[in-house]
Structure 1
Amino acid sequence: MVVPFAGTAGVGARDAATWFDEQPSDLDTAGVAQRSRILAADGSLIATFYSENRVDVPFARIAPVMRQAVVAIEDSRFYEHGALDSKGTVRALVTNVGSGEVQQGGSGITQQYVKNLLISQADTPAGKAEAQALTPARKLRELKYAVAMEKRYSKDEILRRYLNIAYYGAGAYGVEAAAQRYFGIPAARLDLNQAALLAGVIRYPYAYDPIEHPDVARQRRDTVLARMAQLRLISPETAAETAAGPLELHPKTFRSGCVTSKAPFFCDYVQREILTNPVFGSTAAKREKLLKTGGLTIRTTLDTQTQRAAQKAVDRHVPRRNSARKAAAEALVEPGTGRIKGMAVDRALGPNKERGKTWINFAADADHGASIGMQSGSTFKVFTLAAALEQDMPFGTRITAPGSYTPTGFRDCKGRRVGDPDASLGNSADGEGGRSFTLVTGTHHSVNTFFLELEHEVGLCDTVKMAERLGMRQANGKPLEQYPSFTLGFNSVSPLRLAAAYAAFGARGRYCRPVAITSITGPDGKGRKVPSARCKQVLDKGVADAVNHVLQGVLTKGTAAGMGIGRPAAGKTGTVDNFSAAWFAGYTPDLASAVWVGDPRGGYRYPMTDLCMDGECYGEVFGATIPAPIWQDTMEGALRGRPAGDFHRPPGFYFSLGSGEEAPKRPKRKTPAKKPGDGKKKRGDPPAAADPKPRKRAA
């Protein structure tokens, strides 16, 4: 074969023989695409990603009958000849080159493995075309590589590699994926019927696809059985008996991506973590290739019990295709570790134009979900409270909350004056102004003007720095904006960051960046570097204990009274200006959560007032109206059957002015005028001490 292309018959043949015997410098057997898997903390499958659906398996995990069937039909003398089966190759080369198309397949298994390897490693359409071109040069290159393969690997290893790289039709690459695709079993459990069918498919996978062409596939299977009988690998009787039976397909579909995942938005978060983090590759293209071809096993922090509870809760209170087109999102983080335990959105992952679907992960920041965040409302008051407690203000510290507040005398962290002397910020509930509150009662009743006065006393910059120490930034990645109404929550943030901040209180001041991935291993079992939570003590334990003490009362005496979960818990409601959104952030020592409810079309344009949603009607939606019940249902389900942790008693000096529990008398609420929907079923009307809505910030 070499002589006609070698120049002269003597020297040329000698040089060609030397060329064949040399190990090719560009021989690389790595880089075969394998599918990656994302797993929950318990090892259950969340999703798969692939460009080619392939799982590489060792020789021992391929049924012996499968190996026999492939050798019988593809290269019966495989274990006897070297890299070149001269009879078959010469016949195929002459026939195919003469006709200009593939009419015979005389290549042995080693050559077929080389061809598949070169095709798989080609990164461009042109490269793949070159790897399949009907030219003598391509054939000679394959033969040279085949010689090298025979020197480098045993026959069993070459056969294993071939079985793992071959295409079996229906999107299945490799014998393991093919066994799962057609029969729903691993390759180790293939029987004679199944093995003969798969072995026959390899030659022309599109023509012999048993799902699309069952009759042709069955004929091909019978051909393999007959060949196995001819080679005395099975008896004629066994071949005939098997051929008389049906194909017995049990197709199983493997979809690439997060759309069909049971935790689609957590899955999408993990995917974006890999696609955007330079630790997984210097370019976006390299990171995507790693995910789709690297055969990674990605173990995550997701707790399936927590995820089920969260998804059930958001879907129950804000149905996916609700008539008001509102949305809900929740993120759950483990205090002290930063591990994301659950992430739920009341939508399916998909095109936004389809009702009940979205590509935007409302629970995450823009870099992990395309969301620009939502104004946080009164959930930000906790940072002012923490700053005050850090300055050793006792629980009984009293501050008068005026009926309205003009923000003057504020400076940001650069020392610049901020505020608007013509602006007036106030409270939403009647009669809240003009009286004094303690740190405890002011927090329980979430009094806007009280917190504006408190922020002025502790310093706007100290409040901002407290939030930043606890990981807060805008969802678009920018630093928090600094204005007097900072404490009222005008900054747009994500539920995930808010949950992580509140988790730090549950962990007694230890803040951890949210993390979703615990480990990543490649096909070779070697681990890869993953993002760290970078846990750090950012708050004195006593200060965190004091915050926890105050926020526990929100669930018993404050704006979220009645939202307890039967174990020690703390939290804070949040209602955004004009009822454009509502929040609840709450936690135990073991789990923290933040819930947002609003309108993706724009909260100010579509506020949650006189809201009717699938037969449920509400007057004005506060943090305790819908978000808190979602939190309550989630936490009860997530923590069911798990031991309850407890908070620590704060240092004694915080009680130096008393407990701060004195509740001021509140006037009776006015009877509201009858509104549309009053005749329908209502729930979630705000309690007497309703969470006040923040006003717009003063620029």
Structure 2
Amino acid sequence: MLTANTTPAEKLRALRGLGVLGGLAGLIVALMVLPAACTAGVNARDSARWFDGVPADLDTSGVPQRSRILAADGTPVATFFYQNRVDVRLDAIAPMVRKAVVAIEDSRFYEHGAIDAQGTLRALVSDLGSGAVTQGGSGITQQYVKNLLLTQADSVAERRAAKEISAARKIRELRYAVAVEKRYSKDEILRRYLNIAYYGAGAYGIEAASRRYFSKHASQLNLAESALLAGIVRYPFAYDPTRHPEAARKRRDTVLQRMADLGYIDQTTASAAERQPIKLHVQDVKSGCVTSEAPFFCDYVQRDILANPVFGKTAGDREKLLKRGGLTIRTTLDRKAQKAAQRAVDAHVPAKNSAHKAAAEAMVEPGTGRIKAMVVDRRLGSDKVRGKTWINFAADADHGSSIGMQAGSTFKVFTLAAALDEGLPFGTRLMAPKEFTPVGYRDCKGNRVGDPGTSLHNAGDGEGGKPFSIVTGTQHSVNTFFLALEKKVGLCPTVRMAEKLGMKQATGKALQQYPSFTLGINPVSPVRLAAAYAAFGARGKYCSPVAIAQITDASGHRLKVPSAHCEQAVDKETADAVNYVLRGVLTKGTAAGQGIGRPAAGKTGTVDDFSAAWFAGYTPDLASAVWVGDPRGGYKHPMSDLCMDGRCYGPVYGATIPAPIWHQSMIGALEGTAESPFVQPSSHFFSKGSGEERAKLPDVRGLKVGDAAAKLRAAGFKVRIGAPVKSDYPKGTVADVSPSSPRPGDTITLRPSGGKQKHRDEAGGRRRGLPG
């Protein structure tokens, strides 16, 4: 409106606006009489055909819809969107919503065509009289087209062109509106409009708006709620009930009265609805992984889509698919396992711990490669905030920006598997010196590496200076034994074994090949290590770790997803033998006492100078790898004398913190599931014995059973009492002990004496009356 206080610049802008509006008025009138004018000549006829034809570039399929990431059980993990929109059918929208929108936006919608002459001219007259655009005048079809063009605009220039007040834009919109009216029924146009319109507060479409303001589906909206949402569309910010409740209420009442005037509802019903207060039940929908219950798993899935060409040729295409494609992404996440892992990690390494340490764990299903859980002790967010990080320490660089961490002795499993694969029996014994100088190693190209090498030694357990078998060398994780075993087997076969089981550096580079390979010099990620160990649980079947099970787009079509590419990477008998050896780590080795009450196997890992610690373990049903270290740099901030939140550990080994995390998380993840056994190794692996050390058994025969049991337990054995036997030992004392040559920690069976027995000849002679 021009007033006495209007500035010259404002007057100039108003005059320009009037010029545009005047031009548009003439244009609209011309379009209305266009059919009649078509008979005037060839030019008019061609113009009519051009306007009335379907534009070649008309695309009504590009409306952005939000994508959802779901756990394996279908529960939501996260939502991604450019615009928060959930497209729904017309029958999924309450009838009162449809009536309310038609009443307030375009009451003659079902009567006129693409152009509403009455409404358009009325709006133009009003706008020309006021000197500004005060009434839209566009019908629902035109509004749908305008929203569609604005939504499909990718660049700033395209968005500006979709909103500018110009004759060219109006002609384009009107031409598209004519085409839309030809292509779709009125009901379908209304459905599309309801699904594309903006309702404020980040809600696009009626379903998202209903969930945003009332936490219910659009099909459940009552009359007052329907009128409120219908009224928001004209000015979404001004009528946002969370910001301007009074303005929203007045607008709602206007809609209700308009519905009564049109006969959609009676006046009594309208008045009753107007007396109702606005009752909101706001549901805040966040986009992205930050607020997810599984933030780092969510981030892994997001990066999987954004980095994989299977989801689009360019990074822009892939991001558009994720944020606009209306995808339903069903993942492999096991919510029970995820919660168990998160609780375990947080309990042992709190997010804001005083020592600034961090922990990460990944769980993978043997035989499928499905990632069941992925956790970091921090929360997803800026590293500038204590207790948060953007780096996913559980994943490789391409899925979480981590360059990986040295794996320590968890890599000894690949030397073990290579040795067993060559047929070496469990009883194979090698000397493990206190120090080992690597000489004579060759990489897979035949080049000598490590000559002359620095002398390597054992960890702080003091092992060395004596021979070990494959079994005992593994159970006690003797560095010099594994250096000797790696030399016997060959560095290249050891490296090839690791590669067959999916191992590579977290940066994506090939594994470094040096004599210390078996000691875990390569930086890797927990998820890749867990997948490798899972292969042993699956009897040698290796599957690449995968997080996505299925993706469907907005139309319900299934998209291609990354495959686990499962293959028999290791001979079954070799895997069975590895499982046999690693089971002993949990019963009598470096992780003794960390068993989980079912068949399980694993390996500790301690990195040089206590810069990091690992534990990787598995059952036939689930594998897990745990890392604990310092994100600031493990060698600069070692765990050689760690105190954290009031608890002091001294030097941290793989069994100190990582193994207890694994223990707690595995018990929680597998709770309520049936246990699966490992397969007994082939007999040829026992050709030199079991490989176990034999223990000295105290002679307890003739002792009272209780005294004998106490003596055996003190020697490290378990004890059970068997059935009594007749013997020359006094009744109630120990008469028989088995086995006679046990291994450390074995169960010893004690059989008490039932009293003296008579010799057979003496008893028989008496029965027959023969001489004594």
TM-score of the aligned structures, taking structure 2 as reference length: 0.85
Measure the CA separation in 2 of the matches of 1:95 and 1:591: 71
Question: 1:13 Cα shift?
Answer: 4.3
- In the alignment, what sits opposite 1:614? 645
Specify the alignment match of 1:145 in structure 2. 176
Q: 1:530 aligns with which of 538, 561, 568?
A: 561
CA–CA distance in structure 2, aligned partners of residues 316 and 575 of structure 1: 21
Q: Residue 692 of structure 1 corresponds to which residue in structure 2?
A: none
- What is aligned with 2:202? 171
Q: Secondary structure at the match of 1:609?
A: coil
Q: Note the 1:24-423 alignment, pairs <5 A.
A: 24-93=55-124, 95-96=126-127, 101-423=132-454
Q: Which residue of 1 aligns with 2:51?
A: 20
Deviation digits for residues 51-93 of structure 1, max 9, x if unmatched?
1111111111111111111011111111111111111112324
Within 2, Cα distance between the matches of 1:225 and 1:452? 83
Taking the aligned partners of 1:422 and 1:467, their CA distance within structure 2 comes to 23
Tell me, yes or no, if the aligned pair for 2:392 and 2:401 is still in contact at 8 Å: yes
Which deviations, in whole Å up to 9, do the C-alpha atoms of 1:649-698 show, x marking residues without a partner? 01100001000011689xxxxxxxxxxxxxxxxxxxxxxx9xxxxxxxxx
1:673 counterpart residue number: none
Q: What is the CA distance between 1:21 and its match in structure 2?
A: 1.6
CA deviations 1:479-510 (Å, max 9, x no partner) are 00000000000100000000000000000000
Does the CA-based 8 Å contact 1:441-1:663 persist in structure 2? Answer: no
* Pairwise CA distance, 1:349: 0.1
Q: Does 1:565 align with 2:596?
A: yes
Name 1:488's counterpart in structure 2.
519
Give the CA deviation at 1:636.
0.3
Question: Is contact 1:335-1:591 (8 Å) kept?
Answer: yes
**More off after superposition, 129-138 vs 537-546:** 129-138
Counting matched residue pairs gives 666
Pick the aligned partner of 1:519 from 536, 550, 558: 550
Do the aligned partners of 1:332 and 1:594 also contact (CA within 8 Å) in 2?
A: yes
SS of the residue corresponding to residue 136 of structure 2 reads: coil
Distance 2:597 2:120 in 1: 76
Q: Distance in 1 between matches of 2:59 and 2:532?
A: 48
How far did 1:136 drift? Answer: 2.1
Superposed displacement of residue 101, structure 1? 4.2
Q: Does 1:604 find its partner at 2:673?
A: no
Q: Give runs of aligned pairs for residues 524-603 of structure 1, distance below 5 A.
A: 524-603=555-634
- Give 1:202 shift: 0.4
> What does 1:456-475 align with in structure 2 at a 5 Å threshold?
456-475=487-506
Give the conservation status (yes or no) of the 8 Å contact 1:101–1:134. no
In structure 2, distance between residues paired with 1:2 and 1:401: 95
- Structure 1 CA distance for aligned equivalents of residues 29 and 264 of structure 2: 38
1:609-666 CA-to-partner distances (Å, cap 9, x unmatched) read: 221111111011000000000000000000000111110001100001000011689x
Q: CA deviation at 1:97?
A: 6.9
The answer (yes or no) to whether the contact 2:440–2:451 under 8 Å persists in 1 is no
Distance 1:103 1:373 in 2: 61
Q: Is the 8 A contact 2:439 2:453 kept in 1?
A: no
Amino acid at match of 1:186: H
Instruction: Kindly indicate whether the alpha-carbon contact (under 8 Å) linking 1:373 and 1:474 is maintained by their aligned counterparts in 2.
Output: yes
**Structure 1 residues 459 and 102, CA gap change in structure 2 (3 angstroms):** same
Give the structure 1 partner of residue 708 of structure 2: none
Change (3 A) 1:193 1:552: same
Q: CA deviation at 1:421?
A: 2.3
Moved more, 359-368 or 185-194: 185-194
Which of the pair has more CA radius of gyration?
Answer: 2
Q: Which amino acid aligns with 2:512?
A: E
What do residues 145-200 of structure 1 show as CA deviations (whole Å, max 9, x unaligned)?
11111111111100000000000000000001000111111111111111100000
1:645 aligned onto 2:676: yes
Query: 3-state DSSP class of the match of 2:677?
Result: coil
Contact 2:63/2:148 (CA < 8 Å) preserved in 1? yes
Q: Percent identity?
A: 70
SS in 2 for 1:612: strand
Does the 8 Å contact 1:403/1:449 carry over to 2?
yes
> Residue type matched to 2:450 in 1?
G
Superposition deviation, residue 95 in structure 1: 4.6
- Counterpart of 1:197, as a letter, is L
* C-alpha distance in 2 between matches for 1:556 and 1:430: 17
Counterpart of 1:669 in structure 2 is none
Match of 2:362, SS? strand
Q: SS where residue 46 of structure 1 aligns?
A: strand
SS in 2 for 1:396: coil
More displaced 10-residue stretch of structure 1: 560-569 or 73-82: 73-82
Pick closer, same or farther for the CA change 1:430–1:136 going to 2, 3 Å: closer
Residue 657 of structure 2 corresponds to residue 626 of structure 1: yes
Following the alignment from structure 2 to structure 1, what is the Cα–Cα distance between the partners of residues 466 and 50? Answer: 96
The equivalent of 1:693 in structure 2 is none
Question: How big is each residue's C-alpha offset from its partner over 1:502-560, in whole Å with a ceiling of 9 and x where there is no partner?
Answer: 00000000000000001111110001110000000011100000000000000000000
Taking the aligned partners of 1:330 and 1:482, their CA distance within structure 2 comes to 26
* Deviation at residue 431 of structure 1 after TM alignment: 4.4
- For residue 450 of structure 1, the aligned residue among 460, 481, 484 is 481
Cα offsets for 1:294-331 (capped at 9, x unmatched): 11001100000000000000000000100000000000
Equivalent residue for 1:636? 667
- Quote the offset at 1:20 in angstroms: 2.3
Secondary structure (helix, strand or coil) at the match of 1:641 reads: coil
Q: Secondary structure at the match of 2:508?
A: coil
Q: Deviations over 1:339-361 (max 9, x none)?
A: 00000000100000100000000
SS of the residue corresponding to residue 209 of structure 1 reads: coil
Aligned CA RMSD, in angstroms, stands at: 1.6
Distance 1:441 1:500 in 2: 25
Q: Secondary structure at the match of 1:65?
A: helix
- Is contact 2:142-2:177 (8 Å) kept? yes
Q: 1:97 to 1:607 in 2, by over 3 A?
A: farther
For 2:202 and 2:235, locate their aligned partners in 1 and report how far apart those are by CA, in whole Å. 13
Higher relative contact order (CA 8 A, sep 6+): 1
Equivalent position amino acid for 1:582 in 2: A
Q: Distance in 1 between matches of 2:664 and 2:555?
A: 42
Asked if 2 retains the 8 angstrom alpha-carbon contact of 1:100 and 1:134, the reply is: no
Alpha-carbon spacing, 1:94–1:26, altered in 2? closer, same or farther (3 Å): farther
Q: 1:351 touches 1:359 (CA, 8 Å); kept in 2? A: yes
- Cα 1:609–1:431 change in 2 (3 A) is closer
